[in-house]
Structure 1
């Protein structure tokens, strides 16, 4: 079976055995033994990632499995997929024996001329670059499937370009069943975009194997293996101190020591290491090797380092002016010295550190000159221009104008391929390092504003756009375009009010650009983004946007405005929204713009969730996910998962939801403090993630954590002016405080939410707040004060098609009627609310309405009250709502209703079901026994009992031992 070349050529300085990696190798073997599997092998440079993978590939376990290895380069074209293509080239013999039959694989033929004769015929080119890219991705998946069972290794993925990262994310979703993928990644090399996709792969999250430096005993073992003799502890300790336990550095140091001392004497001479200063050991070693070459070879090798990690011999000959024979001799000398190794028929620097040390040995003035000559050589070569490499070399040559031109061209190419993140990085470099002239700077900034919204460079782009707007005299149209881009970036990063204000300021400047004006006004029509604009203002903006779209004559702008109109109507529960949404989903203009199509579906899905239209939300989520996947719109992956989590929360599918939210919450870098002073430490999506987490905690406990989480969301969203989820967070906090017996706190939170509702003018968003405030006032005997508020709510929502709001209105009216002793009328309204919630699929709200009805009926002696409470208890049990379980059990106890056992309906424990020992302790504590008495009865230490009691209180969401009697009997593990 084909096996890719090892990353580092084996030499006498390498240990014959793998040291200190037994557990990691076992993990790796287990992963590839059970495909499909994804593994990230992570660690700093030289720590042994490639060695570990090499040991795996050499194991007898893989004797019948193909093994392909590809190497990522430091410099990449926007979409080269070069490491994958390198791996496929190694499969030539296998493809010759068994050619793939899937015709889509023909899309790879132009990219793999070496094996094209074994592939299906090339396919006709597609006019749509994104479709072509997607077809290449599908072809690669099909070829991997054909070659399976297969272990695919891609080395140094931290250097992978955006296209390769995108393919890996695609592969994580569509991984063949008999494929194992292993990526080696350098820690500290910055964020790895594919990490999130690997964490959420359908086959299961990728395993991460982190390699740490060796410990002193392991360095001793490694040195003993390399030197083939026992190494005294003193030598090993000195070696560890000088090398930091990095295996590669240990090997390099031990390679050079025989030059100073006979090998047999080395173990007894720890002083031999004294001259090797830390942390420059490796630099000294490799510079020594470099100096061992003849003068001409040194010059050629230094030029090779400027050309790149894998220098092209033709380019190198042109840069140095040397002939092919002299170039070949110099590279052979460097390979013999261990500075290079053979790679894919050519030479490559043996390690990134080897390249870096040789590169840095070039004098600065010579380095700039060599970069310029390399750029000129690349320019004069035939074929497509390697724009990324040209930009790199011109930048380091100090040729600012040529660097900016090539960086902009590379960005344009990346944008044409849908690779916004790569485009944004090129544009950032051009703006930050190139210092282009004013007109060019503005043009680049406009492109950056567009690319950064969908790329990964929002944080860096914001200050650049702000500085341009503050210092550059711009014509109105350009100033408006920059403000619009800046506003979108700020909103995307969580600074809702600041972003909204920027877009508002852009509107006058865009008067003569109706297309952009229509889009800016459509953005201002979105009601959920800012707290201090009334719905009527959003409606006016939407009308203005329609007029601008009409003036522009652009179909895309017209569609964008209709999307905004649908969202505006949807958030108010207007039935007309669904007619407009259905029309748009059938509109070819929207369907031909897959990114806009996907964004619209996800925005509408969120709006449907806001009003309680869960089935519509599920349908829109599915279409948004499918469209985003087809368009390979990777930036939306997080939004898709967020909306999916929100839908699952609303539908009561809570299993594993906490872990999903934790994973989602880990991808929100902080936004630096901009000049407007409204920075948020959360990206916009993080608001919703934290709200969901807080709402889940409010039902599952512990209460303190839920209160803190919701309070955090309130504080941040209030500061940045984001109306959603401010109102919802305050409402959820109000309900939580009410269950904790803090009626005054609950009333205060609900009142604050209603102030936001009135300012916004959308009572559909305020119905739950009205119910919370009504309950709070009822708890303190001031129910009558809620009457006018409930009437105001009824007038505000009218006949809105919003199940959540309508059910809250019915419940609030029921509370008022019950306070007036109209018990039967109150029950009828509450039953109607319960029915509406059930029909909508809002399981948690349905359970709370059932609990309320059961409690009311028990309190007035109705025979079915206990059964209704029991039904509510089982619903909470299925959800895992432990705090609600604790509360309803107290209610049942106080009303003389027997608690059924077991009651949880087989739900997963979520880590909150008591163990047998905890149950014993809880029962005794509930009967009034002290910790000392429990300890004596169960033959435990007092400290152990205290630990059990604390665990019981935490799991059950109880604030003190006094609440335990209401909680017994309790479920036990294994019930």
Structure 2
């Protein structure tokens, strides 16, 4: 930035430390990303601070977007503003290669996030995204921004938001970033102090004022920089008349409440300027100046919008050659509106509803409405249903909420019920949990009970939910509407029974559920339009079969599994929906418990494809989480950690929060295998903060397995044994008993042969063992080694190393075999075989990034080679990627596999620019000049040995 530009910056008072903090984070963010959250009440200068920062970021591309309270319930309203800004930037620098597609309301957050990533990729240099008035960001935009910001956080990128202090989706996004990055700052703007007021007054007036005067000014304006500026400007003449700058006393007329201070600031202004400010304050929404003029003209009012802009009462921005106006500040608008009579405000809203159209017109009708207007309630509920049929969930919920607020006692029941049905339809129950007492108080009816059933289930009131579900199932269903509701209950009741652990009850209900689903009416037969979406028999049957499969496994009913699977497969062959995701996830759990990891993987792979299209599935979070666990088991660690981290980022956006701690556990597994003590501890701590009542039923061993694996990776058998003991104490029926593997291994490592043998015998019980973390042959080898039977142990290790389903435990078995072959009684004549086994293990460890295990293999190989005559000096098997971060390893492996940067970006859910950034870092760290050199790392290399033969890796 040039000196002249800096000189034009408006001075900030009382904000030096805040400015320095943000600029420091920005400086660090060039290399590693950063985030800043500025909070403070209205009028404390958040916008001014961010504007100051934006002008000081020399060499940065700054994207600024201000959320709008009037559009906070419009899906992707904030994103649309950002897209317009991106398009303007790209057009200005000539880099535009085509129009940026604005988001459609029916788009899911991942799709919109990818659109923004692609658009930001067209910008050069570091990028700063500033979100002002973040408390008004609509929820879909917040989800898309969460997706984008997390995937840009490790490049030259600074995310800065300004918000009022109350919790909101953007402040939650900042907390998420702060938990994973050291380069962040939260700045809470407090009111200006008396000293700050003195400095501001001296700047505006050109002379000093006394501390007492400053105290009275600060009190009158509540320390608001905005109001202080307005008030000082109005009182300039009285200051100039003072005999001494410090002798001025605040006139009694200036000691007034906040709103009155604004009113006083307007005194002396032309009436048309004041009227313009009042109209803009009431309309609140950014509007073209001619439209505001038309509304004013219909009310016989004269407005001077340019004059209001000049006085700083209205903010004006040109757009496509037309001046658009909006309030200069929310607090100013509130104060101005409050000074108008109710009749005047209602008149403005009423005319605005006539002049405007669509959503904005309806919103002004709501503001102007008499709460006893049943026609408007009907119109809002109709608009809600129409928006729902178009897939505009957030807009539909907003209309229904407004209808509820406007409804009289006679209409309130309908409004509450339809709002509840919308929440059921779109899995947005979290938006109506606060309404549960009101819905509980309504007269019982099938529709009310269906809404309440899901609210009770999600509120963990399982007994209450069961009572409702049984009553609904037992009540005769005569009309098509009642049959549609009963169809829904047919698959909702099993969820309640599973939450109670009554899996036999689910199976007892199965045939009754089938009958009720078979009696489902056609949508056109349902009289109530708000219920027609329930008339989807295939959707309910698919879910019912999924719940039944899961229950059959828990109830030890293998006779049911094959016919249910065949029936579900037939349905899924031509059925893609949220229910298909739920059924596939439910069945995959059964496959995992039964040891059929390949079929589980196939189901989860399909479920994850469907989740992209149907993110409102009950089990969307579990689809990502369990699949990440499967990928860990089958040795695809880079893919596993990527998907697990995505699950963590999105889990809290799910209606069902129960997968969030499980996603954190899964996210820690790969890091444990790689020896990442800090990152494992951080994730386990975060998961431990979750309410234990929300934790889902998937393998509860995972946090203990992560602890045990980390201890083994770091060579700490005592800690490994303790983690196994803790796992046993907390084990449930959903446990895969993987902790038994770590117990046997730890006991053997500690030389406790008898205890290891007893633990092994427990594992070897018929039908118990799942070889996810180690085969029985390897465990037998561990026990034999502890007992001193080295030759037998080597045979067991050899056998375990030749299996092919789980690369990591097989590499550990090969490592143990190679270790025994190079030491003790079995060492003689075993060097060649040991070298082959160790090189195979090293290749697997290198691919997985298991650096501590790789170091052990390398040390043993060094010992072998140093003992061979004429061995090459210093030849080692090292991890060539040891210096890279986890994300850089993912990119490096993808590059080595020949993937393009665009393919890598799609695979890792990041932008192409981020991939470019990582590629540069990777080549620099490895001392390479091209991608071609990096690809050679994909080929396991070793010195040819005598009688060389292929080594299985």
Match status 1:839 vs 2:805: yes
Following superposition, the deviation at residue 188 of structure 1 comes to 1.8
Work out the CA distance in 2 between the residues paired with 1:840 and 1:527.
Answer: 36
- Taking the aligned partners of 1:192 and 1:707, their CA distance within structure 2 comes to 22
| Distance across 2 between alignment mates of 1:766 and 1:311 | 60
1:199/1:205 contact within 8 Å kept: no
Indicate the RMSD between aligned Cα atoms, in angstroms.
6.7
Judged with a 3 Å threshold, the aligned counterparts in structure 2 of structure 1 residues 796 and 473 are, in CA distance, closer, same or farther, namely farther
In structure 2, C-alpha distance between the alignment counterparts of 1:412 and 1:708, rounded to whole Å: 41
Check if 1:258 corresponds to 2:236. yes
Q: TM-score, normalised by structure 1?
A: 0.63
Alpha-carbon distance between aligned partners in 2 of 1:432 and 1:401, rounded to the nearest angstrom: 12
How far residue 398 of structure 1 moved from its aligned partner, in angstroms, is: 3.9
TM-aligned CA distance change 1:710 to 1:402, over 3 Å: same
Matched, 1:556 2:539: yes
Cα 1:408–1:247, aligned 2, differ >3 Å: closer, same or farther? same
Whether 2:74 is the aligned partner of 1:78: answer yes
Q: Secondary structure at the match of 1:342?
A: strand
What is the match of residue 329 of structure 2? 351
Structure-2 separation of matches of 1:298 and 1:194: 35
Q: Determine whether 1:188 maps to 2:188.
A: no
SS at match of 1:185: strand
Deviation, 1:191, is 1.5
The alpha-carbon deviation at position 416 of structure 1 amounts to 3.8
Q: Is the 8 A contact 2:65 2:82 kept in 1?
A: yes
Alignment partner of 1:440 is 2:414? yes
Matches within 5 A, 1:801-840: 803-804=771-772, 807=774, 831-833=798-800, 835-836=802-803, 839-840=805-806
* Per-residue deviation, 1:257: 3.9
Match of 1:420 among 385, 393, 405: 393
1:454 is aligned to 2:427: yes
1:130 lines up with 2:125 in the alignment: no
Do the aligned partners of 2:704 and 2:724 also contact (CA within 8 Å) in 1?
A: no
CA-to-partner distance for each residue in 1:618-654, whole Å, 9 max, x for gaps? 7766655554445676999866764576456544748
- How far apart are 1:721 and its partner, in Å? 8.2
Structure 1 residues 91, 708: CA separation in 2 closer, same or farther (over 3 Å shift)?
closer
Structure 1 residue 905: deviation in Å?
Answer: 3.2
Match of 1:285 among 255, 261, 265: 261
Residue aligning to 2:48: 51
Cα distance 1:544–1:61, how it changes in 2: closer, same or farther (>3 A)? same
Cα distance in 2 between the residues matched to 1:886 and 1:496: 51
Cα deviation for residue 393 of structure 1 reads 0.9
Q: Is the partner of 1:839 in helix, strand or coil? A: coil
Q: Could you tell me which residue of structure 2 aligns to residue 953 of structure 1? A: none
Mean Cα deviation higher: 28-37 or 640-649: 28-37
- Per the alignment, residue 381 of structure 2 pairs with 408
Residue 750, structure 1, aligned to residue 747, structure 2? no
Give the aligned partner of residue 451 of structure 2: 482
Deviation of the 1:412 alpha carbon? 3.2
Q: C-alpha distance in 1, partners of 2:263/2:737?
A: 73
Shift of 1:185: 3.0
- State the alpha-carbon separation in 2 of the partners of residues 23 and 707 from structure 1: 29
d(CA) in 1 for partners of 2:746, 2:156: 58
Cα displacement string for residues 309-349 of structure 1 (whole angstroms, at most 9, x for unaligned residues): 5478788789878655x3224x5664455322434425422
After TM superposition, give the deviation of residue 286 of structure 1 in Å.
1.1
- Distance between the aligned counterparts of 1:93 and 1:861, measured in 2? 73
1:361 paired residue among 316, 339, 349: 339
Alpha-carbon distance between aligned partners in 1 of 2:795 and 2:462, rounded to the nearest angstrom: 42
Superposed counterparts of 1:120-519, under 5 Å? 130=106, 155-162=132-139, 164-165=141-142, 168=145, 184-192=161-169, 196=173, 210=187, 212=189, 223-228=201-206, 247-262=225-240, 268-269=246-247, 272=250, 283-293=259-269, 302=278, 304-310=280-286, 326-329=301-304, 331=305, 334-335=308-309, 337-344=311-318, 345-362=323-340, 366-367=341-342, 369-370=343-344, 372-381=346-355, 383-384=357-358, 386=360, 389-390=363-364, 392-393=366-367, 398-399=371-372, 401=374, 404-405=377-378, 407-424=380-397, 426-428=399-401, 430-431=403-404, 434=407, 436-437=409-410, 439-441=413-415, 443-450=417-424, 454-455=427-428, 458=430, 461-462=432-433, 464-465=435-436, 468-469=439-440, 471-475=441-445, 477-486=446-455, 489-490=458-459, 507-509=473-475, 517=486
2:699 touches 2:736 (CA, 8 Å); kept in 1? no
CA distance in 2, matches of 1:704, 1:18: 35
Residues 410, 426 of structure 1: 8 Å contact kept: yes
Distance 1:353 1:221, change over 3 A: same
Residue from 741, 765, 768 that aligns with 2:738 = 768
Looking at structure 2, the residues matched to 312 and 436 of structure 1 have their Cα atoms a distance apart, in angstroms, of 39
User: Secondary structure of 2:70's partner?
Assistant: coil
**Residue aligning to 2:766:** 794
- Cα gap change, 1:564/1:662 in structure 2, threshold over 3 Å: closer, same or farther? closer
CA distance in 2, matches of 1:577, 1:851: 43
Over 3 Å counting, the alpha-carbon distance change for 1:448 and 1:811 in structure 2 is farther
The answer as to whether partners of 2:108 and 2:615 remain within 8 angstroms in 1 is no
The question of whether the paired residues in 2 share the 8 Å contact of 1:341 and 1:350 is answered with yes
Q: Say whether 1:740 aligns with 2:718.
A: yes
Partner of 2:575: 589
Q: CA deviation at 1:688?
A: 0.4
CA contact (8 A) 1:163 1:419 kept: no
* 2: CA distance, partners of 1:351 / 1:911: 44
- State how far apart, in whole Å, the 1-side matches of 2:371 and 2:20 are: 48
1:410-435, Cα deviation, whole Å (9 max, x unpaired): 54355345343454455456557746
Change (3 A) 1:537 1:855: farther
- 8 Å Cα contact 2:35/2:174 also seen in 1: no
Cα distance in 2 for residues equivalent to 1:881 and 1:788: 30
d(CA) in 2 for partners of 1:910 and 1:30?
22
Report the CA distance shift for 1:776/1:614 in structure 2 as closer, same or farther (over 3 A). same
Distance in 2 of aligned mates of 1:875 and 1:387: 63
- How many residues in Structure 1 have an aligned counterpart in Structure 2? 825
Provide structure 1 residue ranges, at least 5 long, that are not aligned to the other structure: 1-5, 112-127, 672-681, 913-975
CA, structure 1 residues 273+645, in 2 after alignment: closer, same or farther (shift >3 Å)?
Answer: farther
Query: What's the offset of the Cα at 1:819?
Result: 9.3
**TM-score scaled by structure 2?**
0.64
> For the residues of structure 1 that align with 2:660 and 2:184, how far apart are their CA atoms?
25
Tell me, yes or no, if the aligned pair for 2:708 and 2:723 is still in contact at 8 Å.
yes
